[in-house]
Amino acid sequence: MDGLQPVCAGIQRKIPARRESRISAMGGEEKLFMEIYVVKPGDSVDSIARALNANVEQLIYDNQLEYPYELAVGQALLVSGYVREADRTAAVSGYAYPFISPWVLEQTLPFLTELRVFSYGFTKEGALVPPNLGDDTWMIPETVRFGALPILTLTPFGPDGNFNNQLIHSVVNNEAYKANLVRNLLDTMGEKGYEGVDIDFEYILAEDRDAFTAFVWQVAESMRQAGYQTSVALAPKTSADQAGLLYEGKDYRALGEAADHVLLMTYEWGYTYGPPMAVAPLNQVRRVVEYALTEIPAAKIDLGIPNYGYDWPLPYERGVTKAATINNVQAVRIAIEHGAAIRFDDVAESPYFKYTTDGVEHEVWFEDVRSLSAKFGLMEEYNLRGCGYWQIMEWFRANWLLLQDRFYILKE
C-alpha cells in the first residue's frame, strides 16, 4: 500500500513521532513516540524492553499484557519512546450502548470528539423510542466532562431488534410523520443535553432513496437552526450504481451535501455469518474511500474502524457457521493460549491466525497496531476529517495511544 511497508518479524519502521507529553501509568510525565515491534521466537517482554531501551512496565501496561506476560510469535506490540509534534488534527467518534462499563467509557472519552449513544428508535408514525438496553442519561454529563459531544444515534430497529426498512418507508414518505419525528428528536435533545444526531439507517429500499435524502435534509436543517449537528452513516459503496439492499438507498453525493459530516462504515467484510476474512481489509477500505471522495469533500468524511474481531470454527459452511465476536486483546490471548503464531496479510493489512481446540480448527481475524496504523495512514493520505469506531464497548489501550500519537484529537 502507498506509504506503508509490509511488516515482517522485528521492528517496523518508526511511525512519525507525534504527540505531546502524557502522564505515565506509573506516574510522572514522559515524552513519547510510538514504535511497533513484532514478536520473534524466543522473545520476552524483558528482552524486547532491553533491545529497545524501553520501560518494561510501560510495555506491559500499554499492550494490556497479563501475568506471566507470555507473548505470541507474530504479535504486534506498541512501544513508547520520545515524540515530536503531531502534524494534523482528527475528529474521532465512537458508538457505545448505554450499558458500557463506566470505567471503559471514562478511559475512552479523552480520545473522543463525539460519543454516539446507540441507539434511539422510532415508530411508523414518528414517535421516538429510547434505548431499550439501558438508561443513557448518565452518559451525557460524563461525555461533556471530557470535552466531547454527546450524539443521539437514530436507527430504524423493529420489534425483533433488526433494521426495518418498512419503518423507514413509513416515516420518510409521510410529511406529518417526518415532522413528528424531527420534533421529538429536538425535544429529547434539548431535555437530555445531546448536541447532535447521527442517522444510521440501513437496508433502505431503492424506491425510498430520494425520500430518505429529503428526510436527512429536513433533519439537518432543523438541527442547524437549533444549534445542533447532523451526521449520516453510509454503507461502504464503491460506485454510484452499486447493486444491493445495503447500497441502493443511499445517494453519497446528496447525503454528503445534506449532512454536516458522514461516517463510512468500512467494516464487516468479515462478519458473523460470512466466510473467514479480515473485518476491514485495507484494499477494500481504500476502494470505498476513493469512491466517496468523488462524491463528498474529504473534510466531511470519517473513516469507520472496527474495534473487534471474529473467531470462526472451520470448515466454514454458508448458512450454518457462526463466528464468535471477540475483542482485539482477547484475540491475542487466544493465540497465546493455543501456541498459535500470528500472521499478517499484506494485502488486507490485517492480522490473523489459526488454532485447534477440542478437535475443531478455528480461524481468527482481528485488529492490531499494524492494521490500525495502516488505517490511520489512509486518513492522512486522503486528508479525511477523522474516524469513527464501531464500537467502544471493549478497551484496547494500544489503539488509543497510537491514535493520539498520530493526531491531535479535536475537542469542543
pLDDT at 35: 92
CATH code of the domain covering residue 231: 3.20.20.80
Are 273 and 318 in the same domain? no
CATH code of the domain covering residue 32: 3.10.350.10
Are 259 and 358 in the same domain? no
Residue 56 lies in a domain: yes
Are 35 and 99 in the same domain? no
Q: Which of 35, 114, 195, 202 is catalytic?
A: 202
pLDDT at 83: 56
pLDDT at 24: 34
Residue 103 lies in a domain: yes
Residue 2 lies in a domain: no
pLDDT at 85: 65
Are 114 and 171 in the same domain? yes
- Give the 3-state secondary structure of the chain: CCCCCCCCCEECCCCCCCCCCEECCCCCEECCCEEEEECCCCCCHHHHHHHHCCCHHHHHHHCCCCCCCCCCCCCEEEEECCCCCCCCEEEEEEEECCCCCHHHHHHHHHHCCEEEEEEEEECCCCCEECCCCCCCCCHHHHHHHCCCEEEEEECCECCCCCECHHHHHHHHCCHHHHHHHHHHHHHHHHHHCCCEEEECCCCCCHHHHHHHHHHHHHHHHHHHHCCCEEEEEECCCCCCCCCCCCCCCCCHHHHHHHCCEEEECCCCCCCCCCCCCCCCCHHHHHHHHHHHHHHCCHHHEEEEEECCEEEEECCCCCCCCCCEEECHHHHHHHHHHCCCCCEEECCCCEEEEEEEECCEEEEEECCCHHHHHHHHHHHHHCCCCEEEEECCCCCCHHHHHHHHHHCEECCC
Are 123 and 158 in the same domain? yes
pLDDT at 161: 87
202 has catalytic annotation: yes
Are 69 and 104 in the same domain? no
Domain boundary among 20, 46, 80: 80
Are 149 and 106 in the same domain? yes
Residue 3 lies in a domain: no
Are 61 and 146 in the same domain? no
Residue 256 lies in a domain: yes
Domain boundary among 27, 60, 80: 80
Domain residue limits at 241: 89-308+369-409
pLDDT at 67: 97
Domain count along the chain:
3
pLDDT at 206: 97
Are 75 and 189 in the same domain? no
pLDDT at 15: 34
pLDDT at 412: 79
Are 162 and 260 in the same domain? yes
Are 157 and 119 in the same domain? yes
Q: Please identify every stretch of the chain with a pLDDT value under 50, giving residue numbers as ranges.
A: 1-32
pLDDT at 82: 60
pLDDT at 34: 78
Residue 234 lies in a domain: yes
Domain boundary among 26, 45, 80: 80
Tell me the pLDDT tens digit for each residue of 329-347. 999 999 999 999 999 999 9
